[in-house]
Chain A
């Protein structure tokens, strides 16, 4: 079983390393987001400098010291979605090329095929997230750039919690888009669905805007959005718990629930797609 998993993963990584455009574009995207969006607009500047107004802003951005710090962690959620969009493409194109059929004809387990896709594409999500997070933290110490300012003391446990949240969020979204890869058979259909989901996922979360700005029905959706859950874990860890109704581990459990449900769905669709008719 390990030989099979190793062989499938090796194939994915070799293909990846041979497509420099893919790598560069994938890693450049989050960097551009940070440099353009992040540096370009600062909602904080719209708010008058008086203490009352500033306190209101602080409450709206849930304890973050400034809008960029708030936004940078939202960026993690955004990068998770935009990087996970491609998770189903491997399966889709393997179906088209007959490579999936050839793989099914070998004794490798169906669950191994699924696991290899999940692991590889989750890696492709985690990597740019870590870059975004790392860069934002570095930006805070670069003169002339706005960065992510951490106001709380983050211990080992806090750092671990943030890493787990990133990992679980990546697995959740990879599973979601992998599901469509297994479900659908044509690239056109796949990209249609992906395009449909992409922005709603993002805009029903509190990744980029304080949720106070949206109507009540949307706020309740926002509360359960996996991006919000992951972002809450990180913001609570970095900026303190004052503006959150629940401790961060509650959000983490919610996120874990999403990841389990979505990876379960993906596994189900994978076994259906790989089953002999």
Chain B
């Protein structure tokens, strides 16, 4: 973290009508970082990203993007950032190349200075062959890649991605992330992304902030967050009919909490791997054979549950919404 790309202090947004969508959040993102902003729908992710990208005025607090205050000098912020929206915003009647030329012009570049950059980006997003076809004929994945290319045509310092993979199938999502990584390597761009896919932040982001009901409930590296909810769990499976070893296992240095389910024990610990030898030794000392042992890493799913007391999906992303809306959908025919 050389310098600060984004600095947010007590940022707040109250919508007309009194909804406090973002309630005084503070965080910072270092230059070159890939920072994930995770939360369920309606948590305040899009409101936050809109304030950072000057599309929404903060009610109070301060946000510096590339060192510039978003509230007082929005135009300067706009020329230093790139933005990928949830939905495709390319003009379907224009070709991919024309969409990029449009974006370049809006950022004050002349066509001549933009041309080489556009060719490079189209090639690196694997759109060179489709460059002169109209975007309305593009596949979903191609449209997403074009959004990426358009967002960085002016070489921004910071790239904002607002739920960029929404609507893509798992394969499309994986592919899209490869392009993000490629772009990151080629352009050394800082990336701030919002998502409600836990696996995306788990696998890709270096640091994560979890937002819920307009407040940041946790922030840190993936590992640090997992440690906060009790870290790993080691599952020890003993032979059937073995004596109760709860006391012996609890006594092992580093074990926090032991639960027993028949001959299977779950030992909570900050660091799973380092505890395995001690646990095996403890069982040996008691003269009981260990049949199996494995380390269970907590997922951000569990982190979310531990921090908010709710399962991540509870608030109903797809499944919840689909089932609740179907209750109101009148049946056809009959």
Contact = CB atoms under 8 A, between A and B. Distances in A.
Interface of A: 1, 3-4, 6-8, 10-11, 14-15, 18-19, 97-99, 101-108, 276-277
Contacts of A104: 55
A24 to B, nearest CB: 17
A108 B106 contact: yes
A108 B103 CA distance: 10
14 contacts: A3-B110, A7-B102, A7-B105, A10-B102, A14-B93, A18-B93, A18-B134, A97-B89, A98-B89, A103-B106, A104-B55, A107-B106, A107-B107, A276-B56
B182 interface: no
Contacts of A102: 83, 85, 89
Size category, B interface = 20 to 34
Contact of A11 (B89, B94, B108): B94
Contacts of B110: 3
Interface stretch (B22-30, B71-79, B208-216, B238-246): B71-79
B12 to A, nearest CB: 15
Contacts of B83: 102, 105
Nearest to B105: A7
B190 to A, nearest CB: 17
B96 to A, nearest CB: 13
Contacts of B279: none
A105 B57 contact: no
A4 B93 contact: no
Contact of B54 (A6, A8, A276): A276
Nearest to A19: B93
A18 B95 CA distance: 11
Interface string B104-138: 11111110000000000000000000000010000
A164 B219 CA distance: 64
A106 B106 contact: yes
Interface in B57-86: 57, 74-76, 78-79, 83, 85
Given A3-B109, A3-B110, A15-B94, A99 B55 contact: no
A108 B75 CA distance: 8
Contacts of B57: 276-277
B91 interface: yes
Given A11-B98, A14-B94, A105-B55, A3 B108 contact: yes
B78 A101 contact: no
B85 A15 contact: no
Given A107-B78, A276-B56, A6 B93 contact: no
Nearest to A1: B108
Contact of B105 (A4, A14, A101, A105): A4
Contacts of B55: 101, 104-105, 276
Interface in B209-252: none
A106 B101 CA distance: 13
A7 B104 contact: yes
Contacts of A105: 53-55, 78, 83
B87 interface: yes
B89 A7 contact: no
A1 B107 CA distance: 9
B89 A277 contact: no
Given A4-B106, A7-B102, A106-B78, 12 more contacts: A3-B104, A6-B105, A7-B103, A11-B94, A14-B94, A98-B87, A98-B89, A105-B53, A106-B103, A106-B107, A107-B75, A108-B108
A136 B109 CA distance: 45
B85 A101 contact: yes
Contact of A98 (B75, B76, B85, B94): B85
Contacts of B98: 10-11, 14
A176 to B, nearest CB: 26
Nearest to A5: B105
A141 to B, nearest CB: 40
B178 to A, nearest CB: 24
B55, B79, B109: which has the most chain A beta carbons within 10 Å?
B55
A120 B61 CA distance: 41
The 10 A-B residue pairs with the shortest CB-CB distance in the complex, in nearest-first order: A7-B105, A106-B106, A102-B89, A107-B79, A107-B78, A98-B89, A108-B106, A3-B105, A107-B75, A15-B93
